[in-house]
Amino acid sequence: MPDTPTTAELIRRAIEAHMQELHTAMPVRVISYSASRETVDLVPQFRRSLENDSQATDPFELEDLPTFPDVPVMWPSGGGGSHFITFPLAKNDSGLAVFCERDLGVWRSTGEPGTTGDQRAHGLAGAVFYPGLRPNGEKLGSGKVGSKLTIGSEVFLGSTGASERLVKGDALLTLFNTHKHLGVTTGPGVSGFPDPSTLMTAAELSSKHKLDS
């Protein structure tokens, strides 16, 4: 016949049961990613450890946590949403899920202060996702193959006040290979200036890339 638990034992079990439902952060993997919603479905990489009956052979039993649906991805952004960094996410990409103080559902819908409608603290419904955390055996590659950087607005080199427009590479090469000079002389003489009809025009200058003079 099992022993009757003491009051202290009952209190300990109640506290531990509550702690099992209080989440801070854990590693996760991506099930799917919605670029339009900027959210992911995640599978947790931790399992819950539940205490068995005192008479059980194994004192603890492992239980899978549920998947986390529609979790917002914490892309770096600012400037009223006009400045941000994103990249593709694939199935099985790993990262860190952080659990906020309350459920984020109402705030995500309204963007305004108010009640959450769910009084559970640090529950699974308050998850946000930070890509990047990975096991030791999944190191990043060199990043050189297929690298691409797309910037849709202007690029300033040196300072935000840069004004000198850069020359487009292919346009400069074509101009160099096809330009002509006037007043060409034979021997050691010096030719005249280039033919004005072959000089660079605004079409050869970048409209987005500028640098300090």
Same domain, 111 and 205: no
Same domain, 123 and 169: no
Same domain, 123 and 33: yes
Asked if residue 77 has pLDDT above 70, the reply is: yes
Number of Cβ within 10 Å of residue 32's Cβ equals 12
SS3 10: helix
Same domain, 161 and 96: no
Same domain, 114 and 77: yes
Residue 147 resides in a domain = no
Residue 83 resides in a domain = yes
Instruction: List pLDDT tens digits, range 81-128.
Output: 888 889 999 999 999 999 988 888 788 888 888 776 666 776 788 899
- Average model confidence (pLDDT) for the chain? 78
Same domain, 23 and 117: yes
Same domain, 89 and 159: no
pTM, two decimal places? 0.62
Residues 38/67/127/81 CA torsion (nearest 10 deg) = 0
Distance between first and last Cα of the chain: 89
Instruction: List pLDDT tens digits, range 157-188.
Output: 777 677 776 666 666 666 666 667 666 667 67
Range of the domain at 202: 155-184+196-211
Contact between residue 77 and residue 38 where contact means Cβ atoms under 8 Å apart: no
